[in-house]
């Protein structure tokens, strides 16, 4: 099984890929008209405005985690689901310009926090709600994953293959780790056409494909042309 280990040495490349994907999302967001914000997305029950608001809020949550890792002082990164949903609902009523501005400011705060990781961390392992304990240096790759997946969720003309291949690989790693810690995940043997292989559980079900075919399934159960499997694909726990 191949896994990517994130360290301070990988930060520059990881942050660079995050900035690329963030710029692509921002380009999509700013291209929208205000009346397009209310269109439904691939996230059930969420409009485009909800998804954009979530991305801005997620940036601030990751800023809290990065600050915690560097300073050793825990930040209130985790709030109740009710407050999170209320914040997103409120932000989803903003205009395109307002949402883009909020996301741009949140991205700037996040970049500043991620750059401080290069000087070392006091808390190398951080707890999360859905992915178990994570390596602090994996935070940029996790943000990149959110950007790629939610870019597709916006349901515009953007397509998975437009993401940087190394960013997609990082996103696959994030999805695999998330599935590995979830007891409801099926056993999977995942083989990438580019050469990597991952095992989840007992590895009883085999799927094959290139990066931009594997990620849509692992993240959103989307079956792209070219994904290879036999029989009925197993059900994955929700993102």
DSSP states of 154-193 as a string? Answer: T-SS--GGGS-HHHHHHHHHHHHHHHHT-TTPPPEEEEET
Between CA 27 and CA 45 the distance in angstroms is 24
Residue ranges of domains in the chain: 8-220
**pLDDT value of residue 228:** 96
Between CA 51 and CA 15 the distance in angstroms is 22
Q: Does the pLDDT of residue 51 top 70, yes or no?
A: yes
**pLDDT value of residue 80:** 63
**pLDDT value of residue 146:** 96
Mean pLDDT estimate for the chain: 91
Partners of 228 in the beta sheet?
A: 208
pLDDT band at 74 (very low <50, low <70, confident <90, very high): confident
Q: What is the mean pLDDT of residues 176-189?
A: 93
Strands 188-192 and 133-135: unpaired
**pLDDT value of residue 36:** 97
Distances from the Cα of 12 to the Cα of 8, 44, 136, 145, 167, angstroms: 8, 35, 14, 16, 13
**pLDDT value of residue 132:** 72
> What are 226-236's pLDDT values in tens digits?
999 999 999 99
CATH number of 8-220: 1.20.120.450
More confident site: 46 or 1: 46
Between CA 137 and CA 9 the distance in angstroms is 9
Reported residue count of the chain is 239
Query: Which residue bears the tokens 């292989």?
Result: 197
Interior angle at CA 44, CA 103 and CA 157, nearest 5:
60
> What are 189-235's pLDDT values in tens digits?
999 999 999 999 999 999 999 999 999 999 999 999 999 999 999 99
Lowest mean pLDDT among 24-28, 84-88, 153-157: 84-88
pLDDT band at 9 (very low <50, low <70, confident <90, very high): confident
**pLDDT value of residue 86:** 84
Which backbone phi and psi does 198 adopt, to 5 degrees? Answer: -135, 150
> What are 95-146's pLDDT values in tens digits?
999 999 999 999 999 999 999 999 999 999 888 766 678 899 999 999 999 9
> What are 16-49's pLDDT values in tens digits?
999 999 999 999 999 999 999 999 999 999 999 9
């Amino acid at each position: 099984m191949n896994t990517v280990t994130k360290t301070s040495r990988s930060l520059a490349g990881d942050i660079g890929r995050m900035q690329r994907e963030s710029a692509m999302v921002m380009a999509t967001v700013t291209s929208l008209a205000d009346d397009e914000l209310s269109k439904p997305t691939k996230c059930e029950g969420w409009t485009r405005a909800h998804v954009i608001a979530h991305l801005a809020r997620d940036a601030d949550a990751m800023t809290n985690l990065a600050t915690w890792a560097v300073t050793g002082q825990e930040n209130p990164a985790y709030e109740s689901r009710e407050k999170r949903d209320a914040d997103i609902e409120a932000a989803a009523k903003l205009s395109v310009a307002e949402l883009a501005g909020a996301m741009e400011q949140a991205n700037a705060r996040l970049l500043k926090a991620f750059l401080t990781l290069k000087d070392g961390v006091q808390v190398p392992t951080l707890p999360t709600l859905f992915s178990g304990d994570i390596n602090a240096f994996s935070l940029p790759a996790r943000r990149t994953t959110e950007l790629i997946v939610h870019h597709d969720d916006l349901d515009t003309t953007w397509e998975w293959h437009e993401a940087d291949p190394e960013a997609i690989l990082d996103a696959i790693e994030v999805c695999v780790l998330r599935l590995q810690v979830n007891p409801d995940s099926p056993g999977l043997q995942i083989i990438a056409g580019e050469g990597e292989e991952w095992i989840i559980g007992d590895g009883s079900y085999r799927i094959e494909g290139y990066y931009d075919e594997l990620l849509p399934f692992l993240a959103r159960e989307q079956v792209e042309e070219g994904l290879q499997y036999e029989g009925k694909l197993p059900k994955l726990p929700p993102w």
